[in-house]
Copies of this chain bind each other. A is one copy, B any other.
Amino acid sequence: MDKPKPEHLKNAGLKSTVPRLNILSLFESRQECHMSAEDVYKQLLANGDDVGLATVYRVLTQFEQAGLLVRHNFEGGKSVFELNQGKHHDHIVCLQCGHVEEFYDAAIESRQKKVAAERGFAVHDHSLYIYADCLKKNCPHKR
Protein backbone atom coordinates (compact mmCIF):
# COMPACT_ATOMS: atom_id res chain seq x y z
CA MET A 1 0.00 0.00 0.00
CA ASP A 2 2.76 2.45 -0.84
CA LYS A 3 1.23 5.66 -2.20
CA PRO A 4 2.32 6.45 -5.74
CA LYS A 5 4.37 9.62 -6.15
CA PRO A 6 3.08 12.48 -8.33
CA GLU A 7 6.19 11.94 -10.46
CA HIS A 8 4.79 8.60 -11.61
CA LEU A 9 1.97 10.47 -13.31
CA LYS A 10 4.19 13.31 -14.52
CA ASN A 11 6.51 10.82 -16.16
CA ALA A 12 3.52 9.38 -17.95
CA GLY A 13 2.60 12.83 -19.27
CA LEU A 14 -0.41 13.16 -16.98
CA LYS A 15 -0.77 15.82 -14.39
CA SER A 16 -1.08 14.75 -10.80
CA THR A 17 -4.64 14.89 -9.52
CA VAL A 18 -6.45 13.36 -6.60
CA PRO A 19 -8.59 10.89 -8.60
CA ARG A 20 -5.62 9.76 -10.68
CA LEU A 21 -3.45 9.20 -7.62
CA ASN A 22 -6.23 7.26 -5.90
CA ILE A 23 -6.82 5.02 -8.89
CA LEU A 24 -3.14 4.31 -9.42
CA SER A 25 -2.74 3.67 -5.72
CA LEU A 26 -5.57 1.15 -5.82
CA PHE A 27 -3.92 -0.85 -8.61
CA GLU A 28 -0.50 -0.67 -6.95
CA SER A 29 -1.88 -1.88 -3.64
CA ARG A 30 -3.22 -5.04 -5.30
CA GLN A 31 -0.66 -6.57 -7.59
CA GLU A 32 -1.97 -9.02 -10.18
CA CYS A 33 -5.47 -7.73 -9.64
CA HIS A 34 -7.82 -7.46 -12.60
CA MET A 35 -10.59 -4.88 -12.11
CA SER A 36 -13.41 -3.44 -14.20
CA ALA A 37 -14.32 0.26 -14.13
CA GLU A 38 -17.21 -0.59 -11.84
CA ASP A 39 -14.88 -2.53 -9.53
CA VAL A 40 -12.53 0.44 -9.31
CA TYR A 41 -15.37 2.89 -8.74
CA LYS A 42 -16.92 0.85 -5.92
CA GLN A 43 -13.54 0.24 -4.32
CA LEU A 44 -12.74 3.95 -4.29
CA LEU A 45 -16.10 4.78 -2.73
CA ALA A 46 -15.54 2.06 -0.14
CA ASN A 47 -12.17 3.68 0.63
CA GLY A 48 -13.99 6.94 1.27
CA ASP A 49 -12.62 8.58 -1.86
CA ASP A 50 -15.31 10.65 -3.54
CA VAL A 51 -15.02 10.17 -7.28
CA GLY A 52 -17.27 10.21 -10.35
CA LEU A 53 -17.80 7.15 -12.51
CA ALA A 54 -17.05 9.19 -15.64
CA THR A 55 -13.69 10.09 -14.20
CA VAL A 56 -12.90 6.44 -13.51
CA TYR A 57 -13.62 5.53 -17.13
CA ARG A 58 -11.60 8.48 -18.42
CA VAL A 59 -8.62 7.81 -16.19
CA LEU A 60 -8.54 4.07 -16.95
CA THR A 61 -8.38 4.83 -20.66
CA GLN A 62 -5.70 7.47 -20.12
CA PHE A 63 -3.65 5.08 -18.01
CA GLU A 64 -3.99 2.44 -20.68
CA GLN A 65 -2.77 4.86 -23.36
CA ALA A 66 0.06 5.99 -21.10
CA GLY A 67 1.12 2.37 -20.61
CA LEU A 68 0.39 2.30 -16.88
CA LEU A 69 -2.45 -0.21 -17.23
CA VAL A 70 -3.30 -3.03 -19.60
CA ARG A 71 -6.87 -3.57 -20.77
CA HIS A 72 -8.42 -7.00 -21.24
CA ASN A 73 -11.61 -8.09 -22.97
CA PHE A 74 -12.54 -11.31 -21.26
CA GLU A 75 -15.89 -12.95 -21.97
CA GLY A 76 -18.72 -10.99 -20.40
CA GLY A 77 -18.64 -7.76 -22.30
CA LYS A 78 -16.86 -5.46 -19.86
CA SER A 79 -13.24 -4.34 -19.98
CA VAL A 80 -10.95 -5.24 -17.11
CA PHE A 81 -7.65 -3.59 -16.28
CA GLU A 82 -4.50 -4.56 -14.50
CA LEU A 83 -1.29 -2.79 -13.59
CA ASN A 84 1.27 -2.96 -16.39
CA GLN A 85 3.91 -5.14 -14.78
CA GLY A 86 6.34 -4.62 -17.62
CA LYS A 87 6.36 -8.29 -18.51
CA HIS A 88 3.73 -9.44 -21.00
CA HIS A 89 1.72 -12.46 -19.92
CA ASP A 90 -1.45 -14.31 -20.84
CA HIS A 91 -4.35 -15.47 -18.68
CA ILE A 92 -6.30 -18.48 -17.50
CA VAL A 93 -9.76 -17.50 -16.30
CA CYS A 94 -11.61 -19.88 -13.96
CA LEU A 95 -15.21 -20.20 -15.13
CA GLN A 96 -16.33 -21.35 -11.67
CA CYS A 97 -15.01 -18.53 -9.55
CA GLY A 98 -13.68 -15.88 -11.91
CA HIS A 99 -10.15 -16.19 -10.57
CA VAL A 100 -7.52 -15.08 -13.07
CA GLU A 101 -4.14 -16.78 -13.21
CA GLU A 102 -1.24 -15.46 -15.23
CA PHE A 103 1.28 -17.36 -17.32
CA TYR A 104 3.97 -16.80 -19.91
CA ASP A 105 5.02 -19.40 -22.45
CA ALA A 106 7.93 -18.53 -24.71
CA ALA A 107 7.03 -21.23 -27.22
CA ILE A 108 3.52 -19.84 -27.69
CA GLU A 109 4.86 -16.32 -28.07
CA SER A 110 7.38 -17.23 -30.73
CA ARG A 111 4.94 -19.39 -32.69
CA GLN A 112 2.53 -16.42 -32.81
CA LYS A 113 5.20 -14.17 -34.30
CA LYS A 114 6.03 -16.83 -36.83
CA VAL A 115 2.40 -17.40 -37.84
CA ALA A 116 1.77 -13.68 -38.34
CA ALA A 117 5.01 -13.09 -40.24
CA GLU A 118 4.34 -16.01 -42.59
CA ARG A 119 1.00 -14.45 -43.51
CA GLY A 120 2.36 -10.94 -44.01
CA PHE A 121 1.18 -9.23 -40.85
CA ALA A 122 3.03 -6.86 -38.50
CA VAL A 123 1.83 -7.75 -35.01
CA HIS A 124 0.64 -4.94 -32.73
CA ASP A 125 -0.37 -7.15 -29.86
CA HIS A 126 -2.43 -10.20 -29.06
CA SER A 127 -4.72 -11.63 -26.43
CA LEU A 128 -4.78 -15.22 -25.29
CA TYR A 129 -7.37 -16.22 -22.73
CA ILE A 130 -7.82 -19.80 -21.58
CA TYR A 131 -11.21 -20.43 -19.99
CA ALA A 132 -11.12 -23.34 -17.60
CA ASP A 133 -12.14 -24.84 -14.26
CA CYS A 134 -9.83 -25.18 -11.28
CA LEU A 135 -9.25 -28.85 -10.56
CA LYS A 136 -8.42 -28.22 -6.92
CA LYS A 137 -10.92 -30.01 -4.63
CA ASN A 138 -12.37 -26.78 -3.25
CA CYS A 139 -11.93 -23.87 -5.58
CA PRO A 140 -10.12 -21.33 -3.40
CA HIS A 141 -11.57 -18.32 -5.12
CA LYS A 142 -15.35 -18.71 -4.82
CA ARG A 143 -17.17 -15.57 -5.83
What interface size band does chain A fall in?
20 to 34
Residues of B within 8 A of A128 (CB): 112, 126-128
Distance of A111 from chain B, by nearest CB (Å): 5
Residues of B within 8 A of A134 (CB): 120-121
Residues of B within 8 A of A101 (CB): 119, 121
Residues of B within 8 A of A132 (CB): 116, 121-124
A-B contact pairs, 7 of them (CB 8 A): A73-B74, A101-B121, A105-B111, A108-B111, A112-B128, A120-B134, A123-B130
User: Which residues of chain A have a CB within 8 Å of any CB of chain B?
Assistant: 73-75, 77, 92, 94-95, 101, 103, 105, 107-108, 111-112, 115-116, 119-136
